[in-house]
Structure 1
Amino acid sequence: MCSPLAEQTSSARALQATRIVRRMQPSCESDPDPDAKRAVARRAQSAPTAVCTFAASLTLSIMIAASYMRAAEECTRGSKRRPVKPRSRRVSGSLPRDPRHEQCERVFTLAEAPFFTGGLMLRAAIFDVDGTLVDSVDLHALAWCEAFAHFGHDVSFEEVRSQIGKGGDKLLPVFLSEAELREQGEQLETWRSQHFKANYLTMVRPFSAVPDVLRKLRDQGTRIAVGSSAKKDELKMYLDIAGIADLLDVTVSSEDVDRSKPDPDVFETALHKLCVEPLEAIVVGDSPYDAQAAKGAGLQTIGLLSGGFSEESLRNAGCIAVYPGPAALLAKFDPSLFGG
């Protein structure tokens, strides 16, 4: 059925055709050929039908085009509702751009291809060092205790040991007032560092199975970093002692960040250097300060008891699993945590 517009148009065309026929009638009447008169009549009768058919075809074409346009619009609106990055806030696992690491490129070889763990894509593991890879916590506590005594402060071994895992910028304010920090803080930390290197560094020993754990992770395509509150020169010596320097992709010391653990700076810097997001990595550490720093960076933590902290303190700090040490981590290698 034609639309009202088409009907009006066809009526107008029919009227015009009738006028043409009337103008042609004198010549037709004078023409004795009756076929000419019939041809004119047929053209006049077919004009309204042709106009109506054309209008209907045009209307159908417009309707089809409008349908396609609506479908395209719906598709476009639907694509706009899906954000490019689902994690737009740090709390859900994304990191702000860091101008220090603009050269970082997310390029992985076949050996570094990601694997999936517990439904999440895991690309990297970040290890603490003291108490996690090397047995040094008690030695650090002794050096700190003797440094405090050297500068006239009475601090027990147990008090100091409970703070090992923090950097000096976080440990010193626990025992010194602001005035004492201004007067003695830098000197005390320098004395402690030299005292530790001269008297205790040679006593540091690696935990068993550490290289095996790292090799197992590398064989699975996991990139490996260490993030420590130690000074850069101390960290290098620890890695040599543990025999793992050639197994690491990234190292981060307290000198690479503004704030040490339990602030998240160490792990955030490691993530940027690794070119991964927090949900693509996991931390392995021995202290509650590791877990707190990891949580601040949006990371989960596996805790080790090798640093002397209790399982309860590690779990309370946020560790999702706790093992006695690196050897147990290797023996009980959990596919749900590391994607075996």
Structure 2
Amino acid sequence: MTKPVTGVLFDVDGTLVDSVYLHAVAWWQAFRQYDHDVPMARIHRAIGMGSDKILDALLGPDHDSSSDEALIAAHSALYAPHWPALRPLPGARRLLDTCANRGLSVVLATSASRPELDALLRCLDVDSALTAVTSADDASQSKPAPDILEVALERSGLSAEETVFVGDSVWDVHAAAKLSIPCIGLTSGGLCAAELLDHGAAAIYEDPQDLLDHLDEALTSAFRKSLAEAG
């Protein structure tokens, strides 16, 4: 018999903050600066990986990596001017507050760099609801590796058996699966429900508000699927 849910881990970009397409544009411009013509659709589907993974995913593992650091820096420089315009997705603040008020540990587990995370935290303005926060700087590998989620569990004192992860990308789903954490998928990052389900998401909702409106159902269905797969 499973333990009750005592904590919820959240991705941030595309899950709580409407930033995925800004990242895609910034990466597209950065690639063009270094003579890489990468279609925007491919970039969008790679968002959710950290910078340690996204270049190999989009340029190939055998690409000339001599410009990687400069390319990553270019993305950061192109994305940073958008920080003041970032907005929470519908219901994001209320979702985090509601989880915290229910006594659940609320943990942000993102592949964003620390400077980007600071901008996201300013956008969300829900520090009092948070138990812990992690970023790409806290892990040796970003999603779909589970390192960031492992750090999130350690910092919050949670175990995988009593935790749910909420994310918007297939990389979130894969990272959670490596720790046997059920993942609730949101389509607010631009992926369709079918794709997230095909990759193993336990349940799908449109955005944070939709998840909030069905929170009890979501937590229950996620754990039912987890138990069924474990059995």
TM over 0.5: yes
Question: What amino acid is aligned across from residue 169 of structure 2 in structure 1?
Answer: S
Question: Residue 260 of structure 1 corresponds to which residue in structure 2?
Answer: 142
Deviation for aligned residue 1:119: 4.9
CA shift, 1:335, in A, is: 4.5
- Counterpart AA for 1:299: I
User: Out of 147, 155, 166, which is 2:30 matched to?
Assistant: 147
1:120 to 2:3 alignment: yes
Partners of 2:170 and 2:57 lie apart in 1 by: 16
SS of residue in 1 equivalent to 2:215: coil
* 4+ runs deviating over 6 angstroms: none
Q: Tell me if the contact between 2:203 and 2:218 (Cα under 8 Å) persists in the aligned partners.
A: no
2:121 equivalent in structure 1: 239
Q: Does 1:294 align with 2:203?
A: no
Does the 8 Å contact 2:42/2:58 carry over to 1? no
Alignment length (residue pairs): 221
Change over 3 Å in CA distance of 1:187–1:276 after alignment to 2: same
Letter in 1 for 2:95: V
Deviation (angstroms), 1:246: 2.3
Contact 2:107/2:132, CA 8 A, preserved across alignment: yes
- Name the counterpart of 1:170: 53
* Superposed counterparts of 1:32-111, under 5 Å: none
Tell me which residue corresponds to 1:6: none
Q: Say whether the 8 Å CA contact 2:106–2:132 is kept in structure 1.
A: yes
Paired AA for residue 153 in structure 2: L
Where in structure 2 are the equivalents of 1:166-315 lying within 5 Å? Answer: 166-177=49-60, 180-198=63-81, 200-315=82-197
Q: CA offsets, 1:175-225, max 9 Å, x none? A: 335564431111100111011103x22332111211211121112110110
Cα deviation, 1:13-34, whole Å, max 9, x if unaligned, reads xxxxxxxxxxxxxxxxxxxxxx
Query: Structure 1: how far apart are the matches of 2:217 and 2:100?
Result: 14
Q: Which AA in structure 2 matches 1:167?
A: G
Equivalent residue number for residue 135 of structure 1: 18
Q: CA RMSD in A?
A: 1.7
Q: Who is 1:327 aligned against?
A: 209
Deviations 1:267-304 (A, max 9, x none): 11101111121011110011111010011122111110
Q: Which structure's relative contact order is higher, taking Cα pairs within 8 Å and 6+ residues apart?
A: 2
- Structure 2 counterpart of 1:160: 43
Amino acid at match of 2:201: C
The one-letter amino acid of 1:175's match is L
Partner Cα separation in structure 2 for residue 307 and residue 173 of structure 1: 22
Partner Cα separation in structure 1 for residue 3 and residue 48 of structure 2: 28
Question: What's 2:225 paired with?
Answer: none
Aligned in 2, Cα 1:208/1:336: closer, same or farther, shift over 3 Å? closer
- Residue 123 of structure 1 contacts residue 223 of structure 1 at CA under 8 Å; is this kept in 2? yes
| Amino-acid identity (%) | 33
Question: How far apart in 2 are the matches of 1:143 and 1:230?
Answer: 14
Partner SS for 1:195: helix
Does the 8 A contact of 1:172 with 1:181 survive in 2?
no
Q: Which amino acid aligns with 1:227?
A: A
Quote the residue 2:226 is aligned against: none
